[in-house]
Chains A and B, each alone.
Chain A
Amino acid sequence: MQPVKLEQNSATDFSIHWEDGHISKYHSADLRRACACASCVNEWTGEKQLDDKKVPEDIHPVNIRPAGNYALHIQWSDGHATGFYSFEMLRKL
């Protein structure tokens, strides 16, 4: 499933429009907490390294860019920029 459009909904929320017409809404702090990058999740054990409480509730993306054909790359307002969010994961969330 491919996304076709991104839309900012508020100071902290945005949505993805998918090719089948479905729209997914995301709260930035939830998405930041779900980051699956190597510094947020231990690559060997799968154990979460990120402390959810340290993610501010008002966090938001600085920008979002497509990464290849399969993911979005989000640069967050807390400076974190190593997370790729695959379309598959975004659709499931």
Chain B
Amino acid sequence: MITENQILDSMRHIIDPDLGQDIVSLGFIKNLTIDGGKVSFAIELTTPACPVKEQFKRAAHDAVSKVPGITDIEITMTAQVRAQSASTSTGLTGNIKNVIAIASGKGGVGKSTVAANLACALAEMGASVGLLDADIYGPSVPTLLGITAPKLTVREDKKVLPLETYNLKIMSMGFLLDDNSPVIWRGPMVHGILQQFLGQVVWGDLDYLLIDLPPGTGDAQLTITQSANLSGAVIVTTPQAMAIGIAQKGLKMFGQVNVPILGMVENMSHFSCPHCHERSEIFRHGGTERACEQLNVPFLGEVPMEGAISVQGDEGVPIVMSDPGSKAATAFFQIAGSIAAKLSTQAMQKPQTAAEGLSLDWK
């Protein structure tokens, strides 16, 4: 007779590298059934975008197959994303487990391209993902995802439903502003329009909502950090010393408003030639990684410059979708996986403060 304990004990040496505990103690093993020599169970991870998903499955299979008497093993991989944000306090409408800001110090570093590709990568890995383009000055997500003539559904209560494409829920300031809208905004107007925008979109259930912020550290960023309960921020930069220097200002801003930095991404890291596949370091190599070490923030990875990223972006197909095997897409998948893993770790270590406790209506 094979017992449940025998099966569980056989897997106690499999450690989740991010959470630092074994998968049995973490309660990842679900629906364990034993029928003679046949064993089946599910491994429930904290994110479908887990970078070590396949390793877990293989390790579990190997471990269980060593239990005497086993003839058949069936393992299902599932995921239940842990919540960081109590939905009532996110300032957003919907049951959103993690809100991630994608920020940059300066413009032109490819922040929106990174945001769109990371969102697609997370969705491809099985998570439910939303992408909010909050760049009021130059919303570019519609172009990057090929949404040319958005038809928005506005409900009777004035709430707006996001559009859906590439398995993502998408909302952009670009959908609401026509070409004749003013591009010059004073601080209070920025605050007002963003707050209204944030509150109006009905997201439904999401594992991850990525917010593409406008570049810099001004009114727009401040409003979002005040109105939405951010689980973390990702800073996108290019390798030039100046870009990295400005990115550090973004880090400081998030520090001041208590938003954890999930890490920095180096975009346009080097040029990967499509003909000879040689790598040219157009900018000095390794700047972002060194800056991360100095500032003690995680380095999430580097995305090479590939002509296809920009061409596909202009055509509205993120490279993660059009060429998932490319170096750039592989980098995006890897970065998306590390972000998801960092959020899982954070959610396990620091249970959310019930936002209800911090609301008070005077009697």
What 0/1 readout, one digit per residue, does chain A (39-76) give for beta carbons within 8 Å of chain B?
00000000000000000000011111111111111000
Residues of B within 8 A of A8 (CB): 360, 362-363
Kindly state whether residue B361 has any CB partner on chain A within 8 Å.
yes
A6–B258 contact, CB under 8 A? no
Option from A4, A84, A87 in Cβ contact (under 8 Å) with B258: A87
Q: Are B225 and A64 in contact (CB under 8 A)?
A: no
Can you list, as one digit per residue, whether each of B337-363 has a CB less than 8 Å from chain A (1) or not (0)?
000000000000000011101111111
B362 close to A2 (CB less than 8 A): no
Most chain A beta-carbon contacts within 10 A, residue among B227, B358, B359: B358
Output the least CB separation between B315 and chain A (Å). Answer: 37
* B-contact bits for A14-32, CB 8 A (1 contact / 0 none): 1000010000000000000
Inter-chain contacts of B226 with A (CB < 8 A): 67-68, 71, 73, 84
CB-based nearest A residue for B358: A66
The tally of CB-CB contacts under 8 A between chains A and B is 68
> Count the B residues whose beta carbon is within 8 Å of the partner chain — how many?
21
Which of B225, B360, B361, B363 has a CB less than 8 Å from the CB of A68?
B225
Q: Check B259 for interface membership: any CB of A closer than 8 A.
A: yes
Q: For the complex, what is the distance from the CA of A62 to the CA of B256, rounded to whole Å?
A: 27
| Residue from B227, B259, B353 whose CB has the most chain A CB atoms within 10 Å | B353
Tell me the complex Cα distance, A63–B359, Å: 7
Whether B258 pairs with A65 at a CB distance below 8 angstroms is no
CA separation between A69 and B261, bound complex, in Å? 13
CB within 8 Å of A: which of B211-238? Answer: 225-230
Is B362 in contact with A68, judged by CB distance below 8 angstroms? no
Determine whether A5 belongs to the interface, using a CB cutoff of 8 Å to chain B: yes
- Could you tell me the distance between the alpha carbons of A71 and B203 in the complex, rounded to whole angstroms? 25
17 more A-B residue pairs beyond the given contacts A65-B359, A68-B227, with a C-beta to C-beta distance below 8 A = A3-B357, A3-B358, A4-B353, A4-B357, A4-B358, A6-B360, A8-B363, A19-B353, A60-B362, A64-B359, A64-B360, A66-B89, A66-B355, A68-B228, A68-B230, A69-B258, A84-B226
B257 close to chain A: CB less than 8 A: yes
Indicate if the CB atoms of B257 and A69 lie closer than 8 Å. yes
> How far is A65 from B357 in the complex, measured between Cα atoms in Å?
9
Secondary structure at the A interface, as helix, strand, loop or mixed, is strand
Report the Cα distance A71→B230, complex, angstroms. 13
Given contacts A70-B256, A87-B258, contact A64 B229 (CB under 8 A): no
23 contacts between A and B (CB under 8 A): A2-B353, A3-B357, A3-B358, A4-B353, A4-B357, A4-B358, A5-B357, A6-B358, A6-B360, A8-B360, A63-B359, A63-B361, A66-B355, A66-B359, A68-B225, A68-B259, A69-B230, A69-B258, A70-B257, A70-B258, A70-B259, A77-B362, A87-B258
In the complex, A60 Cα to B225 Cα: how many Å? 26
Q: State A71–B354 Cα separation when bound (angstroms).
A: 14
Closest chain A residue, CB of each to CB of B223: A68
Residues of B within 8 A of A72 (CB): 358
Least CB distance from A1 to B in Å reads 10
A61 — nearest CB in chain B belongs to which residue? B362
Cα A64 to Cα B357 in complex, Å, equals 10
Docked CA distance A16–B297 (Å): 31
CB of A63 within 8 A of CB of B229, answer: no
Residue of B nearest to A28 (CB): B362
Q: Which residue on chain B has the smallest CB distance to residue A77?
A: B362
When the two chains form their complex, are residues B359 and A14 in contact, meaning their CB atoms are under 8 A apart? Answer: no
Of B226, B229, B357, B360, chain A has the most CB atoms within 10 Å of the CB of B360
CB distance from A70 to the nearest CB of B (A): 4
- Determine the distance from Cα of A73 to Cα of B195 in the docked complex, in whole angstroms: 14
Residue of B nearest to A38 (CB): B187
Contacts of B357 in A (CB 8 A): 3-6
- Chain B: which residue is nearest A5 at the CB level? B357
Q: Complex Cα distance A2/B354, Å?
A: 11
A7 neighbours in B (Cβ, 8 Å): 360
* Contact in complex: A68, B258 (CB < 8 Å): yes
Q: Which residues in chain B, 85-119, are within 8 Å of chain A measured between CB atoms?
A: 89
Q: How far is the CB of B207 from chain A (nearest CB, A)?
A: 19
